[in-house]
Structures are given as C-alpha cells and as structure tokens.
Amino acid sequence: MDEWVRKPRQRQERTTGCLVAGCERDHDSNGLCRLHAAAYTKKRRQLDLNSLTPQDWIQNGQPGPYREAEKCVSGCGRERAYLSGLCNLHQDKFKSWRQVNPGADLAQEVEHWLSVVCEPPMDPDARTTYAESSAIPFGLLPEPLRWEFLYAVQQRDLTGRANLAPSYVRKTYLNLRRSGRSTVIGETLMAQDPQNRNLIGMLAECQRLIEAARREWSGVDNRDPRLIYLRDLDLRKSTAHIGPNATMDLRSIELDWIFEAVAAWSRGAPRGPGQLLIVRTVWLLADEVLRSRGTPRHLLGTADMDAIIRVIRERWPHEATQRKRALQN
C-alpha cells in the first residue's frame, strides 16, 4: 500500500496514430482505429486466417486513411464511438444509467445524463475525474443551488464543531445534481431521505445555515412568529451550547398583548436562557388566569394581579421560587 501511494499517477496519453498511413484516428490495442480494425477483423474471418496480421492486411488491402473523428461530447478528449456521441468509456456508463432510467429519445437522454450525472474531467490532459479525487464540482450544480450548498459547507467548516466528512459532502452533491432541482429553500434535510445519523446531522445543519442566510439576505422570515429561536436573541451567555432548534415557545399564549409584550421583552436586552424559560412559564400561567377572569386589558387592576399571585403560590409552594416567579410577572 505504501509503495502504491508513493508511486506517481501516470499521465494517460491519447492513443493516436493508426497503423494505416495518414489515418488521423486513435488506435485500439491492435494499432488500428476502430473502423480499420472492424474491416481487418471482417477480412480475417472471411479468409479464416487467424495468422493475418494488421500489417499484412494493410499491405495487401491498401486501406485509405480517415480524417480525425469528432470528440466525445462530454469533453473528455476521446473520439466518438457511438450514435450517442459518446466514447467507449462514457457509453458504458451511460448505458448502465439508461437501464435504470429508460427514455424514448436517445439525444434527449444523453443530454440529460450529461447535465445531471456525467462529470467532465478535472484535467483534460491527464483525464483525472472529480470522483477519483473525491472533489466536489459545485459549479456543475444549477444556480442558486451551487451557492446554497457551497455556503453551507463553508460555514459548517468554519465553526469547527463537527467533522465534515468529504464522502458525505460528495454524496450530497451527487444526489442534488441528479435530482435536477435548482434550490433547497423550504425543504427538509436538503430534500433528501438519508438513513445514516451522521449524514442526517450534516444535512440538518446545512439546511439551517441556508435558511438563516436567506432570511438575513431577504428580510423575510416565514417561521411561526410565536416560536422565538434562542440563537436569534442577544443572550447574556454564549450560544455555543444552545441548539439550533432551541426556542421560546409562546404559541400557547392566546392574548395577543401578552405575546407582544413577552416577545418585545425577550429582544429588548441581553437575557439569560434560564430567565427566558422562567418568563415564558409565568406568562403562560398569567395568560390562562386572565382569560378565565375575562377582564379587558384596559380594566386590569390589583385584583387580577392578586389572582395571578395566588396561582403562582399554589403552583410553587417554595417561597424563594414564588418570589422569583412573581418578580418576572
């Protein structure tokens, strides 16, 4: 293994130079281009002469040369060998893909395969593919998906909190490209359905980063306004230990003025995560008490406050806990 790793990769040179004089086409293993090789093989079968060499066939038959053939439409540098416009190598890959994804129109199927599956070489001279280097050609994804995915990978890498496995990134890229979609905004787990827990974690984080960047850029937040995400608040403590889905859930508050007051308070100054939880709990209780009493907002008085305090004392028997809850009210 060590010897193999140390050995440099050999550059694959084009097999140019058919044995027929003047022929500009690439040759196969017998030194003849594909068309001349077919004619040679046919002649040898007709004569039933296995000892007939390509040189003997050229000398006796005097075949004419062919002009240089068109190259594979994938840009790989090899000659076209099939009606699909592909070389031998890409034709085999396309054929395998088409067996699973059959279509009626060959040209359309080839075009679709080139756009969502086939990857052009990183280096046309060496013919090194992206897959051989585990590279991620984000530029092959449509816009804006290429920028969404690249941004998410960069941001996840900058945090340094999680292992960014190249195999997961490339697998995600392949799935996104083959899906034909142009964005993952509004999706879940980058529009994928993985089973691997580590991959699920990476996709969830990427989706969150993309959605957060879109909200910041567009100014449009389609999330439930009664779910206040703690990472969006100015907290007194570090947010490193706060999960991306940690929220201050105010959906149970039915009185709009209480919700608006608590939401404004949470964003008005740096708060502690524990303080936010206490305030939410107390005001959920206050909302319940005031709704049961039916007192309009403009008629609220000491009797309503006393009712809330009584419920607090019933809910939390310990005096220190009662004082802490009452102060938040």
pLDDT 10s digits, 287-307: 999 999 998 888 989 998 889
What pLDDT is stored for residue 8 in this prediction? 63
Distance CA 280, CA 226 (A): 11
CA distances 279 to 113, 123, 241, 261, 317, Å, are 57, 61, 20, 11, 18
What is the number of residues in the chain? Answer: 329
CA distances 151 to 67, 70, 97, 188, 201, Å, are 47, 39, 30, 17, 17
What pLDDT is stored for residue 240 in this prediction? 59
Q: What is the CA radius of gyration of the chain?
A: 34
pTM, full prediction:
0.65
Domain boundaries, the chain: 13-61, 88-133, 138-218, 227-327
Residues of the chain with pLDDT under 70: 8-16, 124-127, 161-162, 238-240, 327-329
What pLDDT is stored for residue 321 in this prediction? 78
pLDDT 10s digits, 229-238: 888 888 887 6
What pLDDT is stored for residue 273 in this prediction? 86
Q: 27 has which bridge partners?
A: 33
H or E element that contains 324: helix 319-327
Query: Residue 57 in contact with residue 14, Cβ under 8 Å?
Result: no
Within 10 Å of residue 35's Cβ, how many Cβ atoms?
Answer: 15
What pLDDT is stored for residue 175 in this prediction? 92
247-249 vs 227-229, strand pairing mode: antiparallel
Distance CA 25, CA 34 (A): 8
SS3 260: helix
